Structure 1
Amino acid sequence: MAHEFQTARIQPGRAGGMDRRWLAALVEAMEQAARPEVRSVPCDARLISAAAAHLARPAPTFAHCRSAFSLRN
């Protein structure tokens, strides 16, 4: 199923409908994942433990994107 998912490339000037298309693609992917024939396929234990390890890490702070300005000033 991984080959079915594609990344979208945003082109300047065409971002108006991207939010709606992205949301529609997300809903379609969730509907595909919810189908009984997909849910009945066992998941690889290595994939589950890799996902659990990823989720156990602290959230990124994005320190490289900080600004001197703050809403708390």
Structure 2
Amino acid sequence: MRPERQHQVWRSEAGSRLWLSGLIAAMEHAEQPEVRRQPVAPELLVELRAQLALTASFRLSQISTLRH
């Protein structure tokens, strides 16, 4: 799904529930011991750390920039 479409879907209650359900499913999958034992590529960790370092307002501004 394109980022601008995701933003529109998240605005609705049903979209928020769908997004949250997907997040919960991903977290439940990631907590499984066999999944946790798998190595993670260093470049993926670098990208994740960079995303987590951003403020929420900056991330939202990036989404709205993509919409235009």
Seq. identity, %: 26
The answer for unaligned runs of 5 or more in structure 1 is 1-5, 66-73
Q: Which has the higher contact order (CA 8 A, sep 6+)?
A: 2
Letter of the 1:47 partner, please give it: L
Corresponding residue of 1:48: 45
Corresponding residue of 1:25: 22
Residues 48, 16 of structure 1: alpha-carbon distance in 2 compared, 3 angstrom cutoff:
closer
Corresponding residue of 2:36: 39
How many pairs were matched up? 53
Q: Deviations over 1:16-58 (max 9, x none)?
A: 4111111111100110111111100011122223333x15865
Corresponding residue of 1:3: none
More helix by share: 2
Per the alignment, in what secondary structure is the counterpart of residue 38 of structure 2? coil
CA distance in 2, matches of 1:41, 1:55: 22
Per the alignment, in what secondary structure is the counterpart of residue 29 of structure 1? helix
CA distance in 2, matches of 1:44, 1:57: 19
The answer for unaligned runs of 5 or more in structure 2 is none
CA distance in 1, matches of 2:51, 2:46: 10
